[in-house]
Structure 1
Amino acid sequence: MFGRDPWGGPLEINAADSATDDDRSRNLQEYDRAALSSRQLDETQQSWLLGPAEQKKKKKYVDLGCIVVSRKIFVWTVGTVVAAALLVGLIILIVKTVPRHHHPPPPPDDYTLALHKALMFFNAQRSGKLPKHNNVSWRGDSCLNDGKSDSSTIFKDLKGGYYDAGDAIKFHFPASFVITMLSWSVIEYSAKYDAAGELNHAKDIIKWGTDYFLKTFNSSADSIDRVVAQVGIGDTSGGSTTPNDHYCWMRPEDIDYPRPVTECHDCSDLAGEMAAALASASIVFKDNKAYSQKLVHGAKTLFKFARENRGRYSGGGTDASHFYNSTMYWDEFIWGAAWLYYATGNSSYLQLATTSGLAKHAGAFWTSPDYGVLSWDNKLTGAQVLLSRLRLFLSPGYPYEEILSTFHNQTGIIMCSYLPVFTSFNRTKGGLIQLNHGRPQPLQYVVNAAFLAALYSDYLDAADTPGWYCGPNFYSTDVLRDFAKTQINYILGKNPQKMSYVVGFGDHYPRHVHHRGASIPKNKIKYSCTGGWKWRDSKQQNPNTIVGAMVAGPDMHDGFHDVRTNYNYTEPTIAGNAGLVAALVALSNGKTLGIDKNTIFSAVPPMFPSTPPPPAPWKP
C-alpha cells in the first residue's frame, strides 16, 4: 500500500509487516529526522509545525507631568495610600468615639482656699481712688485729700496706701513690714501663687503699697531729711472728744474730719523697714526694669537716711507710740541691709548686715522673752532666716562666715523653740503656741512663726539637708511643716471653739468684726462722727462681710468673744494678714512646688571668697 508523503516523498506501508508498534514508532521518527534534515522548510511549513508566533505585550505608563511611571506601580502606590488613609481614619474614629474617663484635678486644699480669701482683705483695706477690679462691693474711693488738707506738710499727694486695721489710720511702720513680708513670700513661692491663680493679685497688692511709699519721701533724691510716718491720728487718751480716726465711727468714704500728716526727721526704724519693703519689692518686679530700679533707688535713699539720722520714729510720745511703738532700730539695720544686698548685689550691705556689733545691739547674743518672735517690731528672727539662706545656697565664706554661721545656728535654735517638746513657749490646751506669752491678739505672731518654719523646712529640703539638730536629737524637716500646719489648722477651725478665725472661711467665723467699713451699711446715708456709734455698739451682725480678715484671736484659754467693741478679739490688721498669706502660700500644694532658689540672687555677683589673712607669726 502506498500513500502520499505530505513532506513530498513516497511512503510505503506494508500491511503484512509484523513489526511491533514500537518498531513502527521508531521508524517514523527516523523518517521524520531524515526528512527534516534532507530539506529546508518554508515559513508556512514552520508555522504548521511551531504554531502561531508569541506576541510581546506592551507596557502601559502614566504621565504625571514631571515624571512618567508604570501604570502598575502607580495603581499599587495609590491603592496603598488610600488603604493607609482608611486605616488611619478608622483608628481616629474609634479613638474619638470610645468613651474616655477624665480624672478631674484634685480640689484645692484648705490652705489654697484660705489664701484666696486672705488676699481679698487687702482689697478691702485700700485707701484712695480704687481700681475697677477691686471686687469689694461695699468699698469706694476714700480720703482723696490726704496731704492736701494738712498745710504743715510738704507732701501734698498722700492718697493711696492701706488702712491699718478697723480704723482709717495709715501707719507706715507696720505697713512697710506688710509689703516686705508679702514680697518675700512672692519671691520664694511665685510658682505656688501662680498655681493658685493669685500671682498677679499678690503683685498688685504689693505695688499698691510701694506706689504709695514712693510718695512719702522725696524718692527722686539721693539724700532726704524727712519721711512721712503716719496719716491720721487715733489717740483718745485723756477723754479727748476731738474727731479723729478712733473717736469717730465712720465709713472711710464719709470721713470729713482733719487727717494730720506726721513727719519724722530721725526715724531709723521706719526708714530701715521702708527700705526693706522697697528693696524686696524690686526683686518681685525685676522684669519691669524701670520700676525695679526706681524702687532700688528709693530703698538706697531711705537706708542712707536711716543710718545718718538715728532715732526711733515712735520716740517722744508720738501718736504711734500708743499703737505701734518701736523698741529699737538695730534689727531694721540688719533686715534692711540684707534686703538691699539681695536687691543690688553690693557687698557693702552684706558687710553691714554681718557686723558683729550690729548683731549684738539687735539682741542676737542675749535671750529675751520675745527672742525668736518675728513681728512688725522685731525683725531679727526674719533677718537670721534670710541670711541663713545665703549661707545654705551660696556659702560666701570669709569674711562673712562667722556671723552667717552664728545666724544659721541661732535659726536652728529658734526652730527648736517652736516644737512642742521644748518649753520655750507655752501652748493653750487647744494647741496654739503663745509667742506673745498670753497677751491679747496672739494670731499675728503665730502666723509669722508658721511661715518661717515652713520656709526654713523648704530651705533645708532644697539644700538636700534632711533636717537639723536640737541638742543631741535630730529632727526631720517634716516636723517643722507639721508645726506650721497645726498652728494654721487651729486658725482655720481646728480649735476648741470650732471657729475659723479667718472671716468667710468655713461656716463658723466671727460675724461682729471690729471694722468701721464692714459694720456700717452702704445705704447712701452718711453717718456723722458719733452717728456711727450705733453701728459700733449694735449687737447685730456686720452688714458687710470683710472676706479674708484674720481677727486678733482667742485668749490664752482658747476663749473667744465675738463682740465688735472688743478689738482684742475681733479686730483684724494688715500686719497679721500679711503673715497669714505668707504661711498659707508656703503650705499650699504640699511639697509639690518648693521654693525658687535663684530669683532672690538675681543681682548677686558670683561668690569668690577672699583668702583669709595669714596667722600671726609664732612667738615662743
Structure 2
Amino acid sequence: MYDRGASFEIEEAAADDRRPALLRPVEHKTTTKKRNTIFLWMIGAILVAGLATALISSMVKNLPRHRHRHQPPLPPDNYTLALNKALNAQRSGRLPEDDNVSWRGDSCLKDGSSLSEDLSGGYYDAGDAIKFNFPQSFAMTLLSWTVVEYSAKYEAAGELNHVKETIKWGTDYLLKTFNNSADTIDRVVTQVGRGGFPSGTDPNDHSCWMRPEDIDYERPVTECNRCSDLAAEMAAALASASIVFKDSVTYSHQLIRGVETVFQFSRERRGLYSIENQAANFYNSTSYWDEFVWGATWLYYATGNISYLELANAPALATRAGAFERRLCDRVFSWDNKLPGAQVLLTCLRIFFSPGYPYEEILNEFHKQVELSMCSFLPNHTSFNRTRGGMIDLSQGQPRNLQYVLNAAFLAHYLSASDTGGWYCGPDFYTRDALRQFAEKQIGYILGANPRNMVGFGDHYPKHVHHRGPSIPNDNIKYSCKGGWRWRNSKKSNPNTIVGAMVAGPYKHDGFEDLRENYNYTEPAITGNAGLVAAPLVALSGKESSGIDRNTVFSAVSPMYPAEPPPPAPWNIRFFCPKMHILGFELGAVGKNVTEPTNIFDKK
C-alpha cells in the first residue's frame, strides 16, 4: 500500500517544480511600444490561467480518495490471522455452510434426546467432546466484552461479523439449557457428555478417541437445581451478548429475558454446580460469590437497572467474594475467579462516572485492589515468579498457565486504555504504558518470543496437539472408540491443524514437550482460546491504543448524580487513658469503638 501523505507531497512538489517556469515574467528586449508590452502580458496571463486550471484539475483527479466511513481492512498479521479459525474447530452441532475448518463436519446432533430436548450446538470444551457449560459461559462473556469495547478493531480486521457469529453460536446453545421463556426455573443443564478413564470399558468422551463426527455412544445430560455459580456466569454471558446484539432488538430482548430468569435462579437456589458432579474433576468451582458480583455488574451494564449495581456494590457480597483479601490467587482472572474482571469493570465505572455516595466506598476499595493486582504483574515486583523466557507464572507452578497469562494481559491493556494517568506501587509511580508493555511482552512470549511457539501458525508450532479431531485423518473412514487410539499414540504429526489455537503451554521453567499424550502441554481449551482472541487479537492489533469509549459498555447506564451522604453518627468513644497521647496517636487506649491502629484525628 502507498502512503497517502507521501503521495500528496510528491505531486505537490512536482507542481512546484513546474510552476516557476510558467509564472516567471517573460523577458523582452527593450521596446518603445507600450501597447506590445501590454498585449504580451495579457497573452501570458491567459496562458498561465489556462495551464494552472489544467494542472489543478489533474492534481485533484489524481489525489487519493479519503474514505472515512469504510476504511479498507488492515493487512493480516499474526493477531488477526488466528481470529478466523481460533474457535470454529470446537463447534458442536450442525455446522453452517460457510464453516472454514475443512476437516470438521456436523456432530452430536442428538444431544439432549434422552430428555426429549434439543441440546445440539455450543462448543466442545477442549480435545474431547464434552460440553462443560461453566467454562463455556465464561468464554462467551470474555468474547462479548472484547466486541463491546473493540468492535472497531474487529471491523478493521474484517472479523466483526465472524466473531459475532461465534458468540451467537454459544449463546443460542446456552438459551437451550434452561426454560428461557419462563419467569422462574428450577434447573439448568450443566454439561453434555461424560468423561472417564481411558482404560474403562464404558464408552465415553475420554475413553474413546474418535472424531466428534463419528461419535455413536450415549452422551448423558447432567442437570442441577442448585448451582448459583453456573447460573450467574450464564447470566453474565447472556447479558454481555445482549450489548453486542443491541442493534438486533428481538434477539437482544430474548437474551435479556433469559438473563433475568437465570440470574434470579442463581440467587434463590444457592449452591455450587460441581458438588457431587463429575465436573469437580475438571472444572471445580470454589465459590459463587464472585459470580454474583460479575453477573450483577454485567446485568447493570446491559439493562441500566440500578438494583444490579447496588447488588454488585454490596459490602457483604464483596467481602464474601474475597474482594478485600490480599491473596495472590484472588488476583488471577479465570473461569473460576471472576472477581478481578468485575473489579476492573467497576473501577472503570468509577473513573468515567464518579458515582459518589453511596457507591464510592466499595468502588474505591475495588479500585485499590485493581491497582494492587496490576502492581503484582509488573516485573519490578516479585509477587509472581517469571520464567527465564519472561512468562509470568500466574498458576504458581501448576500447568496450563497461558490461559491466565492472556486474561491478565487483557485486563492490563483494558486499563491502559482508560482515563487513569497512572498509579503508585509503593513509592514508585507507573504510567499506563507499563501495563501495555506488560501485555505486549506476555503475548509476545506466546506468539514466538519463547523457546517454542504456542499457537497454530508461524514457522514453529506444536505438531502433536492433544485433540481428537485434528489427530485423526479425515479420510472417510470411521474409526471405532478404541480403534482411534492408534492415532492418539502415533508419533507422526497431526494430519490436520487447528489454525490459531493455543495449547496449554509450558511449565514454570519454560519447559515444553510436543507430546500428544500429555494434555498439560498440548491440549487447547475454549477458555484459553477465548483469552487468545481477547488479548492479542483485539487489544494489541494496531500500534496505538484507542481509549475506552463510555458509549459502549456503559451505553445503558444513565448519568449518575451522587446522593447526599447522611450526617456522621455521633461519637460514642469512652477512653481510659493511662498513657499519653503522642502526635495524635493514642497509645494504650481502651474504648468501645476503638480499632487498631487508633488515630484520634481520624473518625473512620
In the superposition, the TM-score normalised over structure 2's length comes to 0.83
Deviation at 1:576, TM superposition (A): 0.2
CA distance in 1 between counterparts of 2:227 and 2:52 reads 76
The 5 A counterparts of 1:305-454 are 305-316=265-276, 318-454=277-413
The answer to whether the Cα contact below 8 Å between 1:282 and 1:293 also exists between their aligned partners in 2 is yes
Q: Which residue of 1 aligns with 2:208?
A: 248
Q: Which residue of 1 aligns with 2:40?
A: none
Q: Which residue of 1 aligns with 2:554?
A: 601
Equivalent residue letter for 1:137: S
Q: Which residue of 1 aligns with 2:161?
A: 200
1:480 aligns with 2:439: no
The answer to whether the Cα contact below 8 Å between 1:272 and 1:303 also exists between their aligned partners in 2 is yes
Q: Which residue of 2 aligns with 1:580?
A: 532
Residue number among 257, 261, 280 corresponding to 2:240 in the alignment: 280
Deviation at 1:118, TM superposition (A): 4.1
Structure 1 pair 592–474 and aligned structure 2 pair: CA distance change class (3 A): closer
Any idea what the Cα deviations from partners look like across 1:485-537, whole Å, max 9, x if unmatched?
11000001101x2x210112x10000110010001011110000001000000
Any idea what the Cα deviations from partners look like across 1:523-578, whole Å, max 9, x if unmatched?
11000000100000001010011101100001111111101111000000010011
Segments of 5+ residues of structure 2 without an aligned counterpart are: 1-42, 574-604
Deviation at 1:83, TM superposition (A): 9.0
Any idea what the Cα deviations from partners look like across 1:59-112, whole Å, max 9, x if unmatched?
xxxxxxxxxxxxxxxxxxxx9xx9999657733675499999x9xx999688x5
Q: Which residue of 1 aligns with 2:100?
A: 135
Deviation at 1:113, TM superposition (A): 2.5
Structure 1 pair 447–89 and aligned structure 2 pair: CA distance change class (3 A): same
Equivalent residue letter for 2:462: P
Q: Which residue of 2 aligns with 1:293?
A: 253
Equivalent residue letter for 1:240: G
Structure 1 pair 246–118 and aligned structure 2 pair: CA distance change class (3 A): farther
CA distance in 1 between counterparts of 2:62 and 2:483 reads 69
Deviation at 1:471, TM superposition (A): 1.7
Structure 1 pair 289–86 and aligned structure 2 pair: CA distance change class (3 A): same
Deviation at 1:614, TM superposition (A): 2.2
In structure 2, the residue corresponding to 1:433 is in which secondary structure? coil
In structure 1, the residue corresponding to 2:373 is in which secondary structure? helix
CA distance in 2 between counterparts of 1:97 and 1:357 reads 68
Q: Highest CA radius of gyration, 1 or 2?
A: 1
Q: Which residue of 2 aligns with 1:490?
A: 445
CA distance in 2 between counterparts of 1:594 and 1:378 reads 26
Equivalent residue letter for 1:190: S
Deviation at 1:360, TM superposition (A): 1.1
In structure 2, the residue corresponding to 1:474 is in which secondary structure? strand
Equivalent residue letter for 1:480: L
CA distance in 2 between counterparts of 1:329 and 1:93 reads 69
Q: Which residue of 1 aligns with 2:54?
A: 90
CA distance in 2 between counterparts of 1:321 and 1:99 reads 64
Q: Which residue of 2 aligns with 1:187?
A: 148
In the superposition, the TM-score normalised over structure 1's length comes to 0.81
The answer to whether the Cα contact below 8 Å between 1:187 and 1:283 also exists between their aligned partners in 2 is yes
CA distance in 2 between counterparts of 1:271 and 1:332 reads 9
CA distance in 2 between counterparts of 1:617 and 1:99 reads 74
Q: What is the Cα-based RMSD across aligned positions, in Å?
A: 2.4
Deviation at 1:115, TM superposition (A): 3.3
CA distance in 2 between counterparts of 1:204 and 1:107 reads 19
CA distance in 2 between counterparts of 1:618 and 1:319 reads 55
In structure 1, the residue corresponding to 2:342 is in which secondary structure? helix
Deviation at 1:199, TM superposition (A): 1.1
Structure 1 pair 99–344 and aligned structure 2 pair: CA distance change class (3 A): closer
Deviation at 1:452, TM superposition (A): 0.6
Any idea what the Cα deviations from partners look like across 1:416-465, whole Å, max 9, x if unmatched?
00011111100111111000001111101100001011111111xxx2x3
Deviates more, 1:280-289 or 1:603-612: 603-612
Q: Which residue of 2 aligns with 1:219?
A: 180
Deviation at 1:191, TM superposition (A): 1.3
The answer to whether the Cα contact below 8 Å between 2:417 and 2:545 also exists between their aligned partners in 1 is no
Equivalent residue letter for 1:123: N
CA distance in 1 between counterparts of 2:63 and 2:309 reads 61
CA distance in 2 between counterparts of 1:450 and 1:315 reads 31
Q: Which residue of 2 aligns with 1:265?
A: 225
CA distance in 2 between counterparts of 1:374 and 1:451 reads 10
Structure 1 pair 418–355 and aligned structure 2 pair: CA distance change class (3 A): same
Structure 1 pair 432–83 and aligned structure 2 pair: CA distance change class (3 A): same
Residue number among 146, 160, 168 corresponding to 2:111 in the alignment: 146
Count residues in correspondence.
Answer: 523
Any idea what the Cα deviations from partners look like across 1:184-229, whole Å, max 9, x if unmatched?
1111111111111111111111111111111100000110000000
Deviation at 1:466, TM superposition (A): 2.3
CA distance in 1 between counterparts of 2:168 and 2:473 reads 29
In structure 1, the residue corresponding to 2:417 is in which secondary structure? helix
Equivalent residue letter for 1:127: S
